[in-house]
Structure 1
């Protein structure tokens, strides 16, 4: 068997998923989502692209992904790995965490999304995760009580640690190649509303278009054009959800010079039209 998996809960509230793979794997879905994600690597190693940086993730590391942040995992040196993922949304956090929400969500506000705990704390995190996995897999009576407690315990452990030892932006993965692509990604993130052509960016960053295209995919896991489209649609979703601007204005503001192309791209990524997305997000 090259894959083993099981899950708990609903994507609309609290969701947990365990996956073990023995074959090489790179995430095929280019995505962002409106809920929080905690990624815990139990074994193996992975490359994780988050926002505008690429990180090496080792067994025992926690990765905290805030809502609507582009991210993707890529194959590292090890062909297999085990990981545990937790999803929860703002509504769940508000109901479950109450006045402690600021502390428990602190790991999502750090300069780096990757938390490598000291040995004692890491062993505690591992026990929390493995107990949740066993309960979800075996389903003994009352197992449903364990996953919510596991989330709170994990966030409390991480939140207390980063309050005392805030995470700075990691520098260990900053090879010249990765640093160059990070610069390109930050440029795209800041100028998505403008025309962005491969050749023009290659000239701006002093590389050939072929080299930029190939290296961008290698470092981030995204193709150059897919990353731009995802970044623009992510911002379009924010504007549709949080403002009353017209759909046509939002298309222009997010870099689309063709309204039909905007509608088709939005529906391909969001699986619904811009107007349907706005209506559903406000229900």
Structure 2
């Protein structure tokens, strides 16, 4: 897997089991953005921070469980002088494909149905803990790997399937995906444009507000709204121009500046494109 930025591709040596547990403390943004070929389930045991995953940002706090797919760029971050402690469960890719040999085909089918969404997921997500169930399972996984008593690999697998089952059964309000967050951001962006359409650098301000790259934001904006950001801003500006042409006796130049357009040639061009007539023709009473 190749990335065009400074993403570090992490390797992890799985020794005698395809499931590995690692307590991690992150302080002062010490981690580098990275990706890996295994799945990662991270349980927040203390502190708060953010998970930056691809071009989205998810706030995290104690009790949250994060699922990170394979080959997905991500990094956990904290604010200055703050820390967040994680219990990381690393799972080799093949483990979610079900046991290699199993006598009961119906059991295999159940496991395949349970794990299928996790295998095909394109975005990471967060689950808010309910009744401390996730924490108990994560600590059970950790304890099994510490003690390694007879049959521990089988119990590790059962604990993992239990965890995935509880994630699948989580209430919709408890699930927060990176993509879902971004769609919410788009709605907030549309509201922002309605109030700030006459300002400059709208894209820059929105990307700073939501901590997302301009390219990813514009692509998702088009997918969600059916319009480019520029088209929506233009529509709002021309809509307001029409209102001012009808309600005031302001000059066309004054109206153009009021809606945030300084270039009069540009204003006349997009007004004609949107309305099919010039501002002067629009202002003339019908039949005159």
Report the TM-score when normalising by structure 2.
0.50
Q: Of 29, 32, 42, which aligns to 1:39?
A: 42
1:101 maps to what in 2? 112
2:126 maps to what in 1? 114
Question: Per the alignment, do residues 67 and 13 of structure 1 end up closer, same or farther by CA in structure 2, a change over 3 Å counting?
Answer: farther
Unaligned runs of 5+ in 2: 1-11, 100-106, 189-204, 221-288
**C-alpha contact 1:26 1:73 (8 A) present in aligned 2:** yes
**C-alpha contact 2:78 2:84 (8 A) present in aligned 1:** no
2:216 maps to what in 1? 186
Q: Of 92, 96, 112, which aligns to 2:95?
A: 92
SS of equivalent residue, structure 1 residue 161: coil
Question: Per the alignment, do residues 176 and 164 of structure 1 end up closer, same or farther by CA in structure 2, a change over 3 Å counting?
Answer: closer
Counterparts of 1:11 and 1:67, CA distance in 2: 19
2:135 maps to what in 1? 126
2:78 maps to what in 1? 75
Counterparts of 1:134 and 1:127, CA distance in 2: 10
Question: Per the alignment, do residues 70 and 135 of structure 1 end up closer, same or farther by CA in structure 2, a change over 3 Å counting?
Answer: same
Report the TM-score when normalising by structure 1.
0.51
Question: Per the alignment, do residues 28 and 111 of structure 1 end up closer, same or farther by CA in structure 2, a change over 3 Å counting?
Answer: closer
Q: CA deviation at 1:94?
A: 1.4
Deviation readout 1:209-251 (Å, 9 max, x if unpaired): xxxxxxxxxxxxxxxxxxxxxxxxxxxxxxxxxxxxxxxxxxx
Question: Per the alignment, do residues 47 and 145 of structure 1 end up closer, same or farther by CA in structure 2, a change over 3 Å counting?
Answer: same
Q: Of 20, 23, 27, which aligns to 1:24?
A: 27
Counterparts of 2:209 and 2:159, CA distance in 1: 36
Counterparts of 1:166 and 1:80, CA distance in 2: 24
Counterparts of 2:37 and 2:211, CA distance in 1: 26
Q: CA deviation at 1:149?
A: 1.9
Deviation readout 1:6-35 (Å, 9 max, x if unpaired): xx98179723222243x7253434321222
Q: CA deviation at 1:144?
A: 3.5
Counterparts of 1:144 and 1:109, CA distance in 2: 26
Length, aligned pairs only: 178
**CA radius of gyration, larger in:** 2
The answer to whether the aligner puts 1:160 opposite 2:169 as a matched pair is yes
1:212-223 superposed matches below 5 A: none
Q: CA deviation at 1:52?
A: 1.2
Counterparts of 2:163 and 2:13, CA distance in 1: 17
Question: Per the alignment, do residues 154 and 115 of structure 1 end up closer, same or farther by CA in structure 2, a change over 3 Å counting?
Answer: same
Q: CA deviation at 1:88?
A: 2.5
Unaligned runs of 5+ in 1: 1-7, 191-283
Q: CA deviation at 1:156?
A: 0.8
Counterparts of 2:209 and 2:37, CA distance in 1: 28
Question: Per the alignment, do residues 134 and 75 of structure 1 end up closer, same or farther by CA in structure 2, a change over 3 Å counting?
Answer: same
2:61 maps to what in 1? 58
Question: Per the alignment, do residues 136 and 86 of structure 1 end up closer, same or farther by CA in structure 2, a change over 3 Å counting?
Answer: same
Counterparts of 2:218 and 2:56, CA distance in 1: 13
Question: Per the alignment, do residues 138 and 59 of structure 1 end up closer, same or farther by CA in structure 2, a change over 3 Å counting?
Answer: same
Q: CA deviation at 1:64?
A: 1.1
